[in-house]
Structure 1
């Protein structure tokens, strides 16, 4: 793949070691067979031989010196979540799970698919009675539905704005102009 000059340079210039050399620090922290397993070690109130051996580790000591002394902010306060907020959080999650598993609809609450369907049907409403009928059918207050539709709608496209393009690989894409459709209610 490469040029002849780079192949010749790589053969002549580089030598790989025949055997991996062990680094000078290898084995410093390796536990001896006489030591207890890590899980059995406990803090000691007296200085033991094991503690002295661990204290002689040069890398560990260098890292501690580089970190410097510990700075403690004595003005810090422990932050504990308020129990009432935590209880309310768990309560609302439990209610949400019950609503999701229930077969009975909950007033003024809809799943995303039902909401999208309601918004599509609401666009076709011609009178206030049609909106009231839809709101009753979906179990939502008319005032809530009207407030919601001021800010949320389902996707709609403007007719006659489709632009088809075919890519070089033969893949076709279609782009259309999105529009916000309000119901045309007769009074």
Structure 2
């Protein structure tokens, strides 16, 4: 028990205490958290150094490329098209996007600060989802140029994984979430957990 009388046990640990097999569920959530964290961290690394997977080296951030300009300047329709075109390639948008990718990736991999990571990931992914609206666009040949599901695509799934990771204390399994939660400044400001 903490000084506030609340237990630090996760929902999965409460289930485990009742005899249900939650160790497997906790490990599955930890793997999902770490894998999703690596997706965010990889996007940061590829955009920074231009490994050639989605960002060629000549368009990398360290080579003077903008991580937001290509994506945001090509928003063709949607409720925020003008806004996205206005911020495409601006220094503040590039820095916010890249720090977001790095922070979310590191937080998910290490299992710390998952509440902030969840809110940040959900916001970032929601904005990227809106930027690609409408999602199920088709070329003149009838082939889909992107997602074929107009409601749920990978942006929504990544945001949901971050939220589920925070809500289930997934950072306590194969992560540093438990130690992070015991730090004095995190105990003082629990929204940092």
* Larger fraction in helix: 2
Q: Report which of the two structures shows the higher radius of gyration computed on alpha carbons.
A: 1
**TM score, norm. by length of structure 1:** 0.24
